[in-house]
């Protein structure tokens, strides 16, 4: 059986790292549209994975605090993906 808490812990570490790195990447004047698209795709995959993880934690009746942590992480990846999408939109419109 998978150690869902350990998976959540590792994903949380990744989320914290991405929360620091993504804004720097998006503000880089030399970042390319392809790089932003790849970043968006990865963040979107992460958000989907954490959503599945949250659903699994709920299914196995983990404590509310654990599920809440997964929800916050899911939201973090979603917000980062949205920021990348906005940057991509701006790049495509010439802004």
Residues in the chain: 95
Residue ranges of alpha helices (H) inside 1-95 are 4-27, 33-59, 64-92
Whether the pLDDT of residue 9 is over 80: the answer is yes
Q: Return d(Cα 83, Cα 80) in angstroms, integer.
A: 5
What is the reported pLDDT for 76? 97
- pTM, full prediction: 0.92
42-72 pLDDT, tens digit each: 999 999 999 999 999 999 999 999 999 999 9
Q: Residue 3 — left, alpha, or beta (φ > 0 → left; ψ -120 to 50 → alpha)?
A: beta
77-95 pLDDT, tens digit each: 999 999 999 999 999 998 6
What is the reported pLDDT for 49? 96
């Amino acid at each position: 059986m998978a150690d869902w808490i350990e998976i959540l812990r590792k994903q949380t570490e990744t989320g914290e790292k991405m929360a620091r790195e993504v804004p720097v990447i998006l503000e880089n004047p030399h970042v390319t549209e392809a790089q932003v698209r790849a970043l968006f795709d990865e963040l979107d995959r992460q958000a989907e994975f954490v959503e599945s993880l949250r659903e699994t934690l709920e299914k196995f009746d983990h404590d509310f605090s654990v599920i809440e942590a997964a929800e916050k992480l899911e939201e973090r990846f979603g917000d980062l993906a949205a920021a990348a999408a906005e940057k991509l939109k701006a790049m495509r419109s010439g802004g």
